Amino acid sequence: MIPAAFAYERPKSLDEALGLISQDGAATKVLAGGQSILPLLKLRLASVDRLVDIGRIEELRGVRQAADGSFAIGAATTYSELIDSPVTALACMADALPTIGDVQVRNRGTIGGAIAHADPASDLPAVLLALDAAVIARSKRGERTIPITSFFIGPFESALETDEIITEIRLMAPSDDYGSAYVSIEQQASGYAIAGVAAVLGHSGEVMGSTLIEDIRVGVTGVGDRAYRASAVEAALRGTDCSHDRIARAARQATEGVQVNSDIHADREYRTAMAEVLVRRAIEAARARSA
């Protein structure tokens, strides 16, 4: 289908883009990889007066690694560029990235677009929640850091203001004390998650002969109206040895406090059951990698 007419701008710098996006509220939108917004415009499920294409702004692209090993990822970095970058040292990123869409989607789709779109079935939100990412957003008014735990506020709704552009996503450094994993059940046609779970586990060595998990973060996507942290599961396992039995018991709380989705791809009962299974599998896999 053909979208309704809109103006197209291709700024050369972030400053220029911020100037354009600050002008007329929601009628102007950012275009990054176009893998979500262009289908919406073509199907006339959304309309804009103007698109501001940030896909070629160099300062928004690429992965930088700081001296402490932590990552700063430019918002317009594509999935394919991430697959070829050092962020795959974080095992949950390495697990998730190749499962997203197909080669075309991965060559065009960006990490900034993936989270700004806030699709409740996207893969990366679960991974970024488990990694406790920080989202850097800029507007003409200044820059702010949004913790990923406050970023997703509803289906296709994020904490971003209409004049803000995500510039960077910051991630923890890979560490031998940490293990992580992402597992999902995908829609066959698109690859979107029917249910997807990322787990990150950190220990601080052996205490009286057993390794205790001090830090545990579990991100879930595809299940609720937004990606979320499975806090009850985390609380049940934090400070324990994360034995198989404990993990299995904790995983039963995978959807605690969540209104579970039901749609043509999977009903509520199936998603609830799969959330439990995937939470168990992701934690087991992360545990094995944190040895």
Ligand X SMILES: Cc1cc2nc3c(=O)[nH]c(=O)nc-3n(C[C@H](O)[C@H](O)[C@H](O)COP(=O)(O)OP(=O)(O)OC[C@H]3O[C@@H](n4cnc5c(N)ncnc54)[C@H](O)[C@@H]3O)c2cc1C
Binding site for ligand X (CB under 6 A): 29-37, 39, 54, 75, 100-101, 105, 108-110, 112-114, 116-117, 119, 122-124, 160, 165-166, 190-192
Q: Taking the complex as a whole, how short is the minimal distance between the CB of residue 24 and ligand X, in angstroms?
A: 14
Q: Taking the complex as a whole, how short is the minimal distance between the CB of residue 111 and ligand X, in angstroms?
A: 8
User: Which residues, 6+ apart, have CB-to-CB distance to 87 below 8 Å?
Assistant: 63, 71, 73, 93, 171
Q: Taking the complex as a whole, how short is the minimal distance between the CB of residue 190 and ligand X, in angstroms?
A: 4
Listing DSSP states for 98-115 in one string gives: GGSS-HHHHHH-BHHHHH
3-class DSSP state for residue 286? helix
**Of residues 31 and 146, the one with the C-beta less far from ligand X:** 31
User: Which residues, 6+ apart, have CB-to-CB distance to 49 below 8 Å?
Assistant: 6, 7, 24, 27, 28
**Of residues 45 and 208, the one with the C-beta less far from ligand X:** 45
Q: Taking the complex as a whole, how short is the minimal distance between the CB of residue 157 and ligand X, in angstroms?
A: 11
Q: Taking the complex as a whole, how short is the minimal distance between the CB of residue 2 and ligand X, in angstroms?
A: 17
C-alpha torsion sign, points 119, 122, 124, 125: positive
**Of residues 95 and 119, the one with the C-beta less far from ligand X:** 119
Q: Taking the complex as a whole, how short is the minimal distance between the CB of residue 78 and ligand X, in angstroms?
A: 8
Exposure pattern of 4-25 as b/e (b: 16+ CB <10 Å)? eeeeeeebeebeebbebbbeee
**Of residues 167 and 255, the one with the C-beta less far from ligand X:** 167
The encoded tokens of residue 46 equal 């959304």
**Of residues 39 and 69, the one with the C-beta less far from ligand X:** 39
**Of residues 112 and 179, the one with the C-beta less far from ligand X:** 112
Q: How far apart are CA 10 and CA 60, in angstroms?
A: 14
State the DSSP code for 3.
P
Do residues 219 and 127 touch, judged by C-beta distance below 8 A? Answer: yes
**Of residues 181 and 236, the one with the C-beta less far from ligand X:** 181
Q: Taking the complex as a whole, how short is the minimal distance between the CB of residue 29 and ligand X, in angstroms?
A: 4
Closest to 126 (Cα-Cα) out of 219, 223, 255: 219
